[in-house]
């Protein structure tokens, strides 16, 4: 794998793909079914998980997970190449089709404007939103947004610092694909229940983590 990896080719692909990201709303409304996406790792395996959350009923309707051999090395700012394959496989197993996917990671709030959420949205041709726990690039400018703080990078608003729960750490929301930043923020807040992290991502994270622990127990 290392012999076939080319940083230059990966960066070139990243630049090309970033220009294809759509930052206008393509989410079907009214919104009801929201997907959550996360990835965990167990040794040489990637575990992609996706959960479908019903906003109207307030419960998770479906969870799918897939484990695959990890075929891309760990390279900061190129993690989407490593994470997309297993998640795409999990999404293909879904019986239900979410109207939008919330992704544990960044979208355009990324030095090369192609984080996990944007890359995934382009591959599956569906609306995606990045929801990260830490800022990756840029600077938060407090007080400039309406209930949220914009993240500026190289003179461009690439995302938003959003407090989903009073007194808790914020999350960092950014456009993945086929959604505007304002709509992305609204959708994230719609999906918050009793936790800082939106419910669809939380359920996907739990599924991926449980599979990771199960695999680790088999290896010990």
Edge-first strand order for the sheet with 59-69 is: 59-69, 45-54, 33-42, 100-104, 128-132, 171-177, 156-162, 149-153, 139-140
Q: What's the pLDDT tens digit per position in 95-112? A: 999 999 999 999 999 999
Domains in the chain: ranges and CATH: 7-219 (3.30.2170.10)
Residue 220 host element (H or E): none
Q: Are 138 and 65 in contact (CB under 8 A)?
A: no
Q: What is the pTM of this model?
A: 0.95
> What tokens does 174 get?
């950014």
Q: What is the pLDDT of residues 13-26, one digit of tens each?
A: 999 999 999 999 99
Enumerate residue ranges in the chain where pLDDT < 70.
1-5, 144-146, 220
């Amino acid at each position: 794998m290392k012999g076939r990896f080319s940083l230059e080719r990966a960066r070139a692909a990243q630049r090309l793909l970033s220009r294809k990201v759509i930052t206008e709303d393509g989410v079907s409304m009214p919104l009801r079914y929201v997907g959550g996406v996360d990835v965990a790792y167990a040794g040489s395996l990637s575990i992609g998980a996706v959960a479908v959350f019903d906003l109207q009923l307030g419960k998770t309707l479906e969870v799918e997970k897939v484990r695959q051999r990890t075929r891309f090395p760990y390279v900061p700012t190129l993690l989407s190449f490593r994470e997309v394959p297993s998640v795409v496989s999990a999404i293909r197993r879904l019986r239900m089709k979410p109207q939008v996917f919330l992704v544990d990671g960044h979208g355009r709030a990324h030095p090369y404007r192609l984080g996990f959420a944007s890359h995934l949205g382009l591959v599956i041709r569906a609306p995606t939103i990045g929801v990260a726990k830490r800022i990756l690039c840029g600077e938060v400018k407090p007080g400039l947004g309406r209930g949220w703080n914009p993240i500026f990078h190289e003179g461009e608003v690439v995302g938003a610092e959003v407090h989903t729960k009073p007194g808790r750490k914020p999350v960092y929301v950014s456009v993945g694909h086929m959604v505007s930043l304002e709509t992305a923020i609204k959708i994230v807040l719609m999906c918050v229940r009793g936790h800082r992290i939106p419910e669809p991502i939380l359920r996907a994270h739990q599924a991926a983590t449980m599979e990771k622990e199960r695999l680790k127990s088999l290896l010990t």
